[in-house]
Amino acid sequence: MSGPAGRFAPSPSGDLHIGNIRTGLLAYARARQTGRRFLWRIEDLDRVRAGAAAAQLRVFADLGVVPDEEPLVQSQRLDRYAAAVETLSAAGLVYECYCSRRDIQQAPSAPHAPPGAYPGTCRSLGEAERVRRRAELAAAGRQPALRLRTENAEITVADGLLGTITAPVDDFVLRRGDGVYAYNLTVVVDDSASGIDEVVRGDDLASSAPRQAHLGGLLGAAEQSWLHVPLVLGESGARLAKRDGAVTAQELTALGWSTADVYAWVWRSLGGDGGVDLGDRPWATIDDLVDGVDFAQLRREPSVFLPPTAADASTFADGTAPSP
């Protein structure tokens, strides 16, 4: 099958929490509402926990969400990332970088470079110096990172929820010093290969969109649109995390939550009981969510999730107590 598609691309580093789940459900709903395929990508080049990818897919299957195609697995696509680096390299847009994190922090920033941007230390080194630095790294058992040569410009992309996103596009890393292809490269290569023409994901990644749009242009990828949805926070106001308590699907299930409770919470978190018209009763199924969510009036503010405890039956959507 081909044609336009949306996707969910969780890193299989652990169990999904309710915030990740909400983002994935919104990506699915958006794809269904707009006639796109819904694809799933396993971003397993880094921080992988054995069994996590399958567990994440199972959580969604239990919630009634099954991707339209077999998931794409990044670790099986290294040749594609290598080919993309080759294309950029042939255009003179790739250079080796020998800097450690410390070198970068300590270097004076280049004139006109946006704050936090790579200072350009290795951008214009001569070949003799490169040979020397490469040998130095090799002696320490390391290899250079590869960076994209850019103009250090601020680039703006349009976002369906945020309006516009402006962020500096500096000489970002394409392949890390440990040989792992960088997130920004793999996302662009894979989205393009899968026909992902709209990206729905958490707004913690919004500032990556200009870099990805720039790189997509260089690689001849079709233009994408973006919809960065707000994150779910814990009680402290920091993004939801394991330390907040029962936050994963598995933990919530163990406390007695049903899939209807998950959907009811998503409904409430989007303002269903607070003035946003999402239908007059909490959602209980994926079809309710697909029918009910209105992206034109999605809130931009984050939602807070207060994890239930076994003693706290009132948190349950239907008011029932958890099973003992």
Contacting positions for ligand GLU (CB under 6 A): 9-11, 43, 187, 201, 205
Using the minimum distance from each CB to ligand GLU, give the nearer residue, 10 or 308: 10
Smallest distance from ligand GLU to CB 27, Å:
9
Instruction: State how far the Cα of 70 lies from the Cα of 215, in Å rounded to an integer.
Output: 26
Using the minimum distance from each CB to ligand GLU, give the nearer residue, 170 or 190: 190
Give 128: exposed, middle or buried? Use CB within 10 Å, 0-12, 13-18, 19+: exposed
Using the minimum distance from each CB to ligand GLU, give the nearer residue, 187 or 247: 187
Smallest distance from ligand GLU to CB 224, Å:
11
Using the minimum distance from each CB to ligand GLU, give the nearer residue, 72 or 270: 72
**Amino acid at site 215:** L
Instruction: State how far the Cα of 162 lies from the Cα of 175, in Å rounded to an integer.
Output: 30
Smallest distance from ligand GLU to CB 13, Å:
8
Smallest distance from ligand GLU to CB 278, Å:
24
HSE of 103, CA atoms in CB hemisphere, 13 A? 9
What pairing do the DSSP bridges indicate for beta strands 173-175 and 145-148? antiparallel
How many C-beta atoms surround the C-beta of residue 102 within 10 A? Answer: 8
What pairing do the DSSP bridges indicate for beta strands 145-148 and 198-202? unpaired
Smallest distance from ligand GLU to CB 208, Å:
7
Using the minimum distance from each CB to ligand GLU, give the nearer residue, 75 or 285: 75
Give 283: exposed, middle or buried? Use CB within 10 Å, 0-12, 13-18, 19+: buried
Buried b / exposed e across 174-209, counting CB within 10 Å, b at 16+?
bbbbeeebbbbbbbbbbbbebbbbbbbbbbebbebb
**Amino acid at site 132:** R
Using the minimum distance from each CB to ligand GLU, give the nearer residue, 19 or 119: 19
Using the minimum distance from each CB to ligand GLU, give the nearer residue, 41 or 147: 41
Smallest distance from ligand GLU to CB 176, Å:
15
Smallest distance from ligand GLU to CB 315, Å:
26
Smallest distance from ligand GLU to CB 12, Å:
9
The DSSP annotation for 207-259 comes to GGHHHHHHHHHHTTPPP-EEEEEPPEE-TTSSBP-GGGSS-BHHHHHHTT--H
Question: Could you give the 3-state DSSP secondary structure of residue 167?
Answer: strand
* Radius of gyration, CA atoms only, the chain: 22
Backbone angles phi, psi at 237, to 5 degrees: 95, -10
Smallest distance from ligand GLU to CB 43, Å:
4
Using the minimum distance from each CB to ligand GLU, give the nearer residue, 187 or 246: 187
Instruction: State how far the Cα of 73 lies from the Cα of 83, in Å rounded to an integer.
Output: 17
Using the minimum distance from each CB to ligand GLU, give the nearer residue, 225 or 297: 225
